[in-house]
Amino acid sequence: MSAPGFDPAIVSDASALQRAAADPDYCVFVEANAGSGKTRVLVDRVARLLLRGAAPERILCVTFTKAAAGEMQTRLFRKLGEWSTLPAPALAAELDSLDPEAAGDRDALAKARRLFARALETPGGLKIQTLHAYCERLLRQFPLEAGLPPGFETQEEAESKRLQLECLLTLYARAEAEPAGPVAKAIAVLLASVGPGAPDTLAAFAIARRHELARALRDAGSVQALMDVASAALGVPASLTEAAAKADGWLEAERGALEAAHSALASSKAKSDLEMAGLLENALNAAHVHPVAAFDAYCGFLLTGKGEIRKRFFTKALGDTYKILRTLYGEEGSEIHRMVDEVLPRVRAARANTLTRAGIHLACELVGLYAQRLSGRRKADFSDLVERARALLKDSEARDWTLYKLDRGLAHVLVDEAQDTAPAQWEVVEALTEEFFAGAGGMGSEQGRTVFCVGDEKQSIYSFQGADPIRFINERVLLEARCEGAGIGFRRPPLDVSFRSSAEVLHAVDLAFEAEEAALSAPERKDMTGRLEHKLLMADPETSRERQPIAFHRYGGHRAARKDTPGCVEIWPAVPKPETPEEESLDLKPVDAARTDSARNQLAEAVAQEIADILKRGDRVWEEGRPAWHARPAGPGDILVLVRKRGGLFEEIIRRLKLKAVPVAGADRMTLTDQLVVEDLLSLARFALLPEDDLSLAEILKSPAFHAVGRDPAIDDDALFDLSRRPERRLWDKLRNSDDPRFAEAREALDRARARVDADAPYAFFASFLFEASATGESRLARIYARLGEEARDPVEEFLNRALAHEREGAPSLAKFVAAMESEASEIKREMEGASGQVRVMTVHGAKGLEAPIVFLPDTTQLPSNRGTALYPHREAGLIWAPDAKDAPALVEALREEDELRTEGEYVRLLYVALTRARDRLVVCGHAHGHGKIDPGSWYDRLNHAWAGEGWDEAESAIHAVAAQYGWDCPPARRYGEAPPALGAARIAEAGPLALPAWAKAMAPQEPHAPRSVAPSRLIEDEEGGFEPASLSPLAPGGQARFKRGALIHKLLQTLPDLAPGRREASARRYLEAQTDLPPEQREEILAETLAVLSDERFAPIFAPGSRAEVAITGQAPGLPAGVTVNGQIDRLVITDHEVLIVDYKTNRPPPTEAEKVAPVYLAQMAAYRALLRVLHPGKPVRCALLWTDGPRLMELPDPLLDRALARASRPAPA
């Protein structure tokens, strides 16, 4: 075997395609296989753009996740940083490899060395971020145009859920106040039709899709009109109810014909005919009570218990005798036709109509309340960012102005992971790049502007966040058409070479999707609109019985760049359901406790044992090194276990790995309140608030907080039993009166916690308990980490962060915080990419972008479960909702099928992502579920059929040892490729005890006093020289309006100068019209005075381009008081080549007539600003002026006056 490494011929071919994709002279849309170097191509393209002279601030790179954006930025700056220090020959070779056409350009060397500094120092810099982050930045740049308040905050997910609940509770209160009102009636319909969880289901649905609902409402014109749209979509009149449809269905039947059929059935001697006669008689008799009762009884005659039409209504002999039976209920019977094709569909539609209309009414109320309260809090939630950016760029009146401003700032847009981009996000990208293809915006301009998109349809797995793989393909078609229309070069280089995986792994991946590849070999077709046709394919002809949409529209086989680095792929026999019950035991167990020998637990044991064996043997993995590849033993960090969803198998694998002392990183996502350490901390708080809570006290006593590191736990079950036998009634009383030394530390610590409960805010309460030293020296937090492992660190830190956030939201309260946490259901994510030295167990979604030498796929035998509710989004109606998914109208059935097909397509794409995470070794396994089945079409079923035949040899693994232990016949596993040789267990360096240096044992020296932070306006606060002048009282005539007036003028002077002069009046008028508490004449006065300031030629330099508003400044400077850091904000700052001008607005004051009468505090404030700016701009004169808004009038302050004020501020305070 030759030296391991990359195949030179394949690498050369792949590099040529990568260079073509990175060519900045073309717009490019790349569809790339997994591991083909997509991020490298993007980084190379940015580097070549910079080398061609593109301004860093005019390049925008967007990607799907913050981690991907960080990785992209790290790679780019690493490359540019290396260029700045490489020797000339090495740098020349690097640049020639990047762009062979520019080979020999000596000027490029100097330019390349300057790029790192240029990219770092450019104001605004390179924009490499998520699309959400860019949209947020855009909205902060144009808040008023987007309908947001300047300085808005982005609302976190947990807060959004609390606001959702708050809105729902508001509707409940409204329903209680108005029992006969529309809200109460709608809630009653939901509860009667679906059940007690219906309002919560609707609230989650409506808030998640509130922008789509709002758009449907705008298109319809009103809530009533939107409900009518839904009724029309269902094909029923708006007023039709289920009862009315049933009554009509019964009354439309021919009573005489039914009575004749009943007589015929009753004349028979056959038992089955007589039973049917009795059922029909029930319906005829119920007609005397009510037609709805008759209809329900008639359905009992027509339908089986499963709701299906009976196969036989009468015996053959009776049918031959009485033709009426065949006419009504034969195979082509008129009554069967009427009920099945007309009446029952109408009843189903009417039932869905009632629920849908109620759902729309409540959803619109919820969405309106949510938006109103969000606006009142001056916040935007995560979904607002993209939607408002889209609306700003596509639908708003300020669209042209915004695009004009942006068009001057963007020249190149690069989209990474484009397959995960949602339709609204694509609309943002299209709007940003629209001018690139219009006239001078194209390649004919000074430098061509370009669009670059890279992605892989096969890896589109985020449909729950709006990603649409068909839209990804359509965007490629659209970009190609736009380039063709504008005469711009377009390329679509395929990247099919994988630099990640071994040839054996890639061959197995291609086998898994062989059916798709064959079906897609036909040329792609486009229709008249340039949109792709839907293609249908049997995903696996051997296992799938139903036609399903193909998961992707293009599948190109993989080529492996690696050579002589063999890997392998294994598929284990599925673990069957145990046939014999467990031995009976006297131990009482929960009724839902899993069997220890369940198929799931056996599989978890096999996976954990195989991982332990791999680490013990030191199975070979390959590592790319410099200068050559080399083999090494596998370590824990080389192993990745991927599941489709977190559940019992996920948790059991982690548990079994821990039992085998295998380092494991724990769960990649967690619900905060489900974590043991959080449960213990909440128990501590509940006990501190209510000492009579015995259960909470017992829980905190058993927690790791009172378990000394390296010792047996002092408080075990026996200790608690001993304590409980004391005569006192409450456990806290027992603990306080006990002299048992096992409880001494806990008693004192909990006593201190009780003493703090009324004085400390939540963060201080928990932090004091966790960080105070225990009886044995270590902190209680150290004890928790020692007992629960490092995986407890994330939940502890997040819990403390939530406690701090709670204090910022309002008056802190421990009881309120505990109540909020108990209702908290949001997840926190742990970054697993940095979990070095530990086995990672995570979902396939979470592993997107990751890779590992060894990958296990154990969760493979189940198809995605069906939705639990028949609530679906509808483009025109907003939503359609049927009470029973199994008895739904045709429209709901169509929506359900569409949803299932979309889910199945993503299920297949998720398999592709899972398989391509493996570099050297891939292990697929699974277990029977339910009644011992493996779902047809599941991952395991597909791979078990595809991975067989030539090259697949029998193999043994840990699954066979498990089978022998539990007594079931286990066929051989199958392996493709050679088994990795054992190289001996990897050596893991163990740090021995370190001797502490002397400084660690010495008392810390006393810290110097930190500089005192002071606002400039507070430099003089003594009565003699500086209290602020008295303001007009708010209670005086016009006082409140005067205060309001000053604040509004201040805000307008801050924001309007950034707008074109022609747009200032309209924007200001819109802003003032929102101030409904001011009379119209007051608004007009404010508008006139503000515009007078902005249009006055004397003030023009203050508001000219280049001037800055609200400039934060902090620091120390000569002349300022010692030990003081001035921290302030300059209202307007103008810096020119020859001077600096500081302007501060003063409001709600009768302005003085001359500078000498200005209050000393104002003079000291301006003098402090001048001192700081003189340090920042040495050699430039710094002028100061006050702009009095109660005039308005500009007053320059003489330097001697400011000098005296600063001298007064610098005098030492009197003793």
Give DSSP secondary structure letters for 1148-1170: SSPPPSSGGGS-HHHHHHHHHHH
- For residues 632 and 705, membership in a common domain is answered with no
| Known binding-site residue numbers | 32-39
409 DSSP 8-state letter: T
Burial class of 239 by CB neighbour count within 10 A (0 to 12, 13 to 18, 19+): exposed
Output the DSSP codes for 55-102. Answer: -GGGEEEEESSHHHHHHHHHHHHHHHHHHHHS-HHHHHHHHHHH-GGG
Rounded distance, CA 1092 to CA 1094, Å? 6
CATH code: domain of residue 575: 3.40.50.300
pLDDT of residue 1044: 74
| Known binding-site residue numbers for ATP | 32-39
pLDDT of residue 1043: 64
Q: Residue 17 corresponds to which amino acid?
A: L
pLDDT of residue 831: 63
Q: What is the mean pLDDT of each run of 10 residues along the chain (1215 residues)?
A: 85 92 93 90 91 87 84 87 87 84 72 82 77 91 91 88 92 95 95 93 94 94 96 94 94 92 92 93 92 94 90 91 92 91 94 96 96 92 91 88 78 91 91 81 58 92 86 92 91 92 96 82 44 36 40 84 94 89 48 68 96 95 86 94 92 91 80 87 93 92 88 86 90 90 90 89 92 85 84 85 84 87 72 72 90 96 81 94 89 90 91 96 94 91 94 93 92 94 74 60 66 78 47 48 72 85 88 85 85 80 85 89 86 90 79 86 91 92 86 84 86 55
Helical ranges in 6-65 per DSSP H? 8-21, 38-51
Cis before 627 (ω within 30):
yes
pLDDT of residue 1024: 45
- For residues 780 and 897, membership in a common domain is answered with no
Residue 54 CB partners (closer than 8 Å, separation 6+)? 24, 411, 412, 447
Q: Is residue 853 part of a domain?
A: yes
In the listed set 829, 849, 884, which residue is the last one of a domain according to the structure?
Answer: 829
- For residues 804 and 750, membership in a common domain is answered with yes
Q: Is residue 345 part of a domain?
A: no
Strand-pair partners of 873: 879
- For residues 354 and 467, membership in a common domain is answered with no
Rounded distance, CA 696 to CA 772, Å? 21
pLDDT of residue 1148: 57
Q: Is residue 340 part of a domain?
A: no
SS (H, E, C) 821-848: HHCCCCEEECCCCCCCCCEEEEECCCCC
Helix (H, G, I), strand (E, B) or coil at 225: helix
Residue whose pair of structure tokens reads 């260029």 in the numeric block: 83
Q: Is residue 589 part of a domain?
A: no
312 DSSP 8-state letter: -
- For residues 1148 and 1187, membership in a common domain is answered with yes
The DSSP H or E segment spanning 752 is helix 744-756
- For residues 1054 and 1115, membership in a common domain is answered with yes
Q: Are 707 and 714 in contact (CB under 8 A)?
A: yes
- For residues 1089 and 1198, membership in a common domain is answered with yes
Range of the domain at 648: 563-580+594-668+836-976
Q: Which of 880, 877, 882, 867 is nearest to 194 (CA)?
A: 882
In the listed set 976, 1003, 1023, which residue is the last one of a domain according to the structure?
Answer: 976
CATH code: domain of residue 716: 1.10.486.10
What is the total count of domains within the chain? 6
pLDDT of residue 435: 85
pLDDT of residue 1020: 73
Strand-pair partners of 5: 563
Output the DSSP codes for 325-373. Answer: HHHHHSTT-HHHHHIIIIIHHHHHHHHHHHHHHHHHHHHHHHHHHHHHH
Cβ atoms < 10 Å from Cβ of 177: 10
- For residues 308 and 389, membership in a common domain is answered with no
Here the tokens at position 44 are: 């190379």
Here the tokens at position 878 are: 């907003």
- For residues 946 and 901, membership in a common domain is answered with yes
Q: Which of 991, 1009, 854 is nearest to 920 (CA)?
A: 854
Q: Is residue 1001 part of a domain?
A: no
In the listed set 495, 524, 545, which residue is the last one of a domain according to the structure?
Answer: 495
Q: Residue 1056 corresponds to which amino acid?
A: L
Q: Is residue 526 part of a domain?
A: no
- For residues 290 and 354, membership in a common domain is answered with no
CATH code: domain of residue 1180: 3.90.320.10
* Angle at the Cα of 152 from the Cα atoms of 146 and 157, rounded to 5 degrees: 105
- For residues 229 and 368, membership in a common domain is answered with yes
Q: Is residue 556 part of a domain?
A: no
Q: Is residue 508 part of a domain?
A: no
pLDDT of residue 1074: 85
pTM attached to this predicted model: 0.76
- For residues 792 and 883, membership in a common domain is answered with no
pLDDT of residue 547: 38
Radius of gyration of the chain (CA): 37
